[in-house]
Chain A
């Protein structure tokens, strides 16, 4: 158990809908990362937050947005969903958000868009 929690575990929705994925980092970790993993794309970095502020941005679509709250939990919002958004979404956390730090991954949310 990494100490990172993600909810929900599974999500089935329709195209055009909006969903919110939630992540709680390990106790003491200030930085949260979001990744998307699909069969043909591997693990793709989406966005990183550190202590409530956006720190780095990857290949995140404009339809997607995220935030980190004062209690350090984070939410990833996916809107106008398309079939191609079906994937595993992972949240990870690290202590200070530096690339050399170990990232602790949550169990993921499996999103299926029908």
Chain B
């Protein structure tokens, strides 16, 4: 069956460091992968989309990579700030209408 796995442990990092989150998938051939940010009690907010033929995408301090051979995406937050503390969700769109979300990784950035 299709599976999406994100870092099972929460990530605690010092301000200024880089946070790296992983999203691994099995039994999928996604054409697109998206990353969302979710704050407690609020709806997810779209951050970045990367297509299967793209290796890397950047937006300000965010960087996403997509390796279809490894079936993995990495999400980096560089020069992290306390305001980056949130849960980050990866979502895969396998060429149909449905977007499937991972369980998310909670990031806490310490000042």
Contacts and interface: CB of A to CB of B under 8 A. Distances in A.
B98 A99 contact: yes
Nearest to B96: A99
Interface size class of A (residues with CB under 8 A): 20 to 34
Contacts, number: 65
A22 to B, nearest CB: 15
Given A33-B99, A45-B100, A56-B97, 12 more contacts: A2-B43, A4-B43, A43-B44, A44-B101, A56-B96, A92-B43, A99-B93, A99-B94, A100-B49, A100-B51, A103-B44, A108-B41
A55 B45 CA distance: 23
A100 B42 CA distance: 22
Interface of A: 2, 4, 33, 35, 42-45, 48, 50, 55-56, 58, 88, 90, 92, 97-100, 102-108, 110
Interface of B: 31-32, 34, 41-46, 49, 51, 89, 93-104
